[in-house]
Structure 1
Amino acid sequence: MNHAKPAWPIYTGGGTPHDGIDRLPKPPPWRNFSADGAGAISRHIGEHRTATFRPDQSTVEAVNAAIFLRRPLLVSGTPGSGKSTLAYSIAHELGLRDVLHWPITSRSTLAEGLYQYDAIGRLQDTRVEHPDEERRDATFRAGRPIGDYIRLGPLGTALLSEEGDKPRVLLIDELDKCDVDLPNDLLNVFEEGTFVIPELERASPDRLVDGKDGTRRFEVYTADTNEKREVIDGRVSTRVFPIVVMTSNNEREFPWAFQRRCLRVRLEAPSADRLAAIVEAHLGEVDETAQDRIDWFLGLQQDEQRLAIDQLLNVLYLGRTPGIDWSSAQFDSLRETLTTKMGTEPGRANRTPPA
């Protein structure tokens, strides 16, 4: 007889140390961080998300139009409708490099997306090497290249390109969280396709002038791990416009001038068949219990009690965890926690999912 303890629960709140963490099962496929390196993790999660993503024809046409016209896409829709996944789907199907991801917050600025200059790190390095001021000044002029202290952001990396390069896919996620100035700031960069790095533009030319053509060439880090690219005369210019996917949850309106320079597309909530395909791709066969919960989820959508697809997947994943009995009243609060309607506080009752 197997007396092994079930996986759930691990934490009991009893205060006595134990080895329950050893029973922790493998993570959900969409939360697997075991790949090597940040790029590999992003690629792994992105590929998994695109496994069942099938945009409708109008979305496909909008993507193609944006690629041909070299215009950014502004994608709206409810959480879980696949807005971010669209960027990964484009990169995956076209065989492009890892998606450059720029998550937006209320504090995000254009400079954050373009580049960062580590002035403090540069100063600290020179102080360590040469404490006295005179020799420190000389180190600034003849020490490590200034490019070692500059890293392009996701937008800057996407723009830096040469003839013959394949375009990068740039995901500017949840743009509607930004402050009022960022859309217009982005518009200027998208229209011009270039920006200046003042720290490089001002750099002393005495050791940086290229003898062949008189240009100043700097190698700077990109948003890709440990990769460096060349910047000429302190100006980043695009020769191959990136495929830009900007997502919005419709939390705010954007300036009309910004909207008309984008191609706008709205992703609708998934159908029953698409939901079943998503569940099958993530968690395997859709049994009767899973189908009941999918029907419950769709019922909430029809009642305008919007839940994200992630919430449905969370319910189904934990529902298959040994030790959880969904027919038990003990887990009513857990079900409610997992399915709290967006915009409401935990503890506000939703329609209870089927046991």
Structure 2
Amino acid sequence: MSARQGSTARWAACIAAGLLLALLPLAAGASVVDKLTGLFILMLLAAMWGLMAGQAGLVSVGQQAFFGLGAYVALRLVDGGLPAYPALLAGALGAVGVAWVLSVFLLRLKDGEFAIATWVVAEVIRILVMLDPLVQGETGTSLIALNAVEPVLRRNIGYWFALGALAAMLLAVWWLLRSPVGTATRALGDDDEAAAALGVRVMPTRRAIYLLGAFGCALAGVAWLASAITFLPRTNFGVQWSVLMLFMVLVGGLRSMAGPLVGALLLFGLQEIVGHLGAWYLAGLGGVAAACALWLPQGLVGLWQQRQARTATERPSLPSPPTPRRTTP
């Protein structure tokens, strides 16, 4: 099979899988739909953090700011009279507007300074949101407008919203990484000073990645709100979201598109199997992440790619047939 045929087959498989997933709520039960909605949200968060940290070298521990901001802006828009579902998308776009303002200051920082600053900014935003009378502090609030929607339809729409957001953002990341911006992004992730010396526009490239990552996390936040309905600042702005992003990307693989998705699947499986163990479950996640950081820095996908490359190198090549000798009469 040629490379072009293989690419066509992969696209066909992705489209078929997407159609099957889109039709799944028509046949599956409520529990399956809810669990898959949560999985799509985890995958979306992992893909965005993988883009930022794995490709551009922007290690953020404050992406929960946009997860919560998207939901908060949506709540504010609904309170102002906008219908609920358009408000969800508008809320994600509003979070991107805040991210653009923050990028002016945050992207001037590097490495640990950037990571700490993103966490501090996320905490400041959480506190400011809690001061809004609509949110009622730690009590939180609910997207009451969604209660008017029939429960099964509401659950299915939340599922389709999360699936559509995941598909759209994965396609955007795939396209971006194959564009000149993607080449510049990888150069910045390897060595930003060397990339700048070669003519890479550092700040615009970083801002594009930062805004795309913020938009994806905000979409995940509004998808969570559409599914849970309730909005609790300590939950929606909780640092646990960034911790889960780091775990999924670190375990799955930092430098590939598939790595974060594999990490999300692994985390989802662990939640379903041992999530009821509470503190032991969290300790197990920490142990797995530490083990991967020490002995498997490329993640599971990186390990599989290395083995595939080693197998291809060690595979013996077939001897070429002998060239027939020409004889003269």
Determine which structure has the larger strand proportion and give its number: 1
TM-score of the superposed pair, with normalisation by structure 2: 0.25
TM-score of the superposed pair, with normalisation by structure 1: 0.24
Q: Which one scores higher on RCO, CA 8 angstroms, separation ≥ 6?
A: 2
Max Rg structure: 1
